Amino acid sequence: MNKVNMPVKIGSKLVKNRSTYAPTVKFGWTDTSGIPTERFARHYEDRAKGGTGLIVVEATCVSPTGRLAPSQLGLWDDVQIDGHRAIAEACHKHGAVVLVQIHHGGYNTHPECGPSKGPSSVTWREHQTEAFTHEEITAIRGQFIEAAERAKKAGYDGVQLHACHGYLINQFVSPAFNTRADEYGGSTENRGRFGCEIIRGIHKACGSDFIVSARTTGAEPTLDEAWSIADAYIDAGVDYLQVSSGIGPEEINYPEGLPYNSIVWTGTQMHCHVKGRVPVSVVNGILKPEHARYLIDNGLADTIDSARALLADPKWTMAVTEGEDYVRCRNCKVCFWSPFMPHKCPAVAERHKNDPDCVDFAG
């Protein structure tokens, strides 16, 4: 059997192949209620129908005051559960395992949603932030756990902590942007404490069968430190790691001539460090089926995480696993600068010509 088609055990679930859908926010598909509309269920169902083994539903906020945009999905209120149930059921119908990414913007909170607050009072992207008090940290940890409980009620197989890309959990991990002097700052152990407490709290509240994943950083600011944080997450009970970028460093000194980029490389190094304790996924710029297969066939990762390739074509997984034809992501990066991706993505526009009902197209 082709290695990308080999099932992989993630927590309590058997995922049917090695192709996973990375989280991708779709701002503007709902209103300020944060309730998923039917459009989300159709979007994720298309990726499940296309054979994707595991789907991570996009960054979903645990608190209205931690949102990245006013129209971000939420799991801070019970009224949001039914919309999420529709997503989970739509994916399960086609045999996908489905997690939802739980998120808090911290310093990156949208000004219409809340103050720019995180672990410390620092200069962040040219503005001054405020530090959360100890009581506020305890409350936000509780919001992550309550969001996971709602995710379980909605029928998701688990949650993923958004612990990379400079958001709240990553801000705690970063020595540059966490200058606390209490048990949440200083040593690597202390900086990883917030994430670990959330992981333990979710397993306690939702049971050990409920998958807890972390999307963590491959270098923060060094590979060694990122590995120590990942070790702490694994000790706390994390079931699955997806490795992406964090806040720092600016440059990674990585070997030249590899058929993948530095972010994927940090993922392969994490995979090597973790040594099978939990499955590890790599991401970034894997836009050709042969690249995805190369990483799996050579034992460099356990799963391949795709965002733009699966935005461009919900059947991308079939290209990876069966060699079928697919609509290519042009790597134009328009979607990176506009999370309203479907408005401008040329691949989606191409697809829309053949499929006028294409849910991703917005005119």
Q: Which of 215, 293, 315, 351 binds ligand FMN (CB under 6 A)?
A: 215
Q: Is 308 one of the binding residues for ligand FMN (CB under 6 A)?
A: yes
Q: Within positions 335 to 354, which residues make up the interface with ligand FMN, using CB under 6 A?
A: 335-336, 339, 341
Using CB under 6 A, which of the segments 17-25, 82-90, 271-279, 293-301 binds ligand FMN?
Answer: 17-25
3-state helix, strand, coil in the chain (%, to 5): 40, 15, 45
Cα–Cα distance list, 182 to 185, 190, 195, 356 (Å): 6, 8, 15, 56
Closest approach, Cβ 153 to ligand FMN, in A, equals 21
d(CA 164, CA 219): 10
Q: Within positions 229 to 288, which residues make up the interface with ligand FMN, using CB under 6 A?
A: 244, 283-286
Closer residue to ligand FMN (CB): 234 or 287 = 287
d(CA 75, CA 34): 8
CB 64 within 8 A of CB 34: yes
Closest approach, Cβ 187 to ligand FMN, in A, equals 26
Q: For residue 235, give both structure tokens.
A: 């000790």
Closer residue to ligand FMN (CB): 162 or 180 = 162
Closer residue to ligand FMN (CB): 187 or 336 = 336
Q: Within positions 102 to 161, which residues make up the interface with ligand FMN, using CB under 6 A?
A: none
Using CB under 6 A, which of the segments 80-88, 218-226, 332-340, 355-363 binds ligand FMN?
Answer: 332-340
List residues bridging with 55 in a β-sheet. Answer: 21, 98
Q: Within positions 38 to 67, which residues make up the interface with ligand FMN, using CB under 6 A?
A: 58-59
The b-or-e profile of 339-358 (16+ CB within 10 A means b, else e) is bbbbbebebbbbbbeeeeeb
Q: Which of 25, 62, 69, 274 binds ligand FMN (CB under 6 A)?
A: 25
The verdict on whether 167 is a catalytic residue reads yes
Q: What are the φ/ψ torsions at residue 99 (nearest 5 degrees)?
A: -115, 160
Q: Which of 19, 116, 216, 306 binds ligand FMN (CB under 6 A)?
A: 306
Closest approach, Cβ 272 to ligand FMN, in A, equals 20
Q: Which among 44, 107, 156, 167 is annotated as catalytic?
A: 167
Q: Pairing between strand 127-128 and 123-124?
A: antiparallel
CB 19 within 8 A of CB 2: no
Closest approach, Cβ 311 to ligand FMN, in A, equals 7
- Side-chain-side CA neighbours of 244 within 13 Å: the count stands at 23
The b-or-e profile of 81-100 (16+ CB within 10 A means b, else e) is bebbbbbbebbbebebbbbb
CB 44 within 8 A of CB 87: yes
Closer residue to ligand FMN (CB): 75 or 180 = 75
Omega before 249 within 30 of 0, i.e. cis: yes
Closest approach, Cβ 170 to ligand FMN, in A, equals 10
Closer residue to ligand FMN (CB): 74 or 339 = 339
Q: Which residues belong to the active site?
A: 167
Q: Residue numbers of the site for ligand FMN (CB under 6 A)?
A: 22-25, 58-59, 101, 162, 165, 215, 244, 283-286, 306-309, 335-336, 339, 341
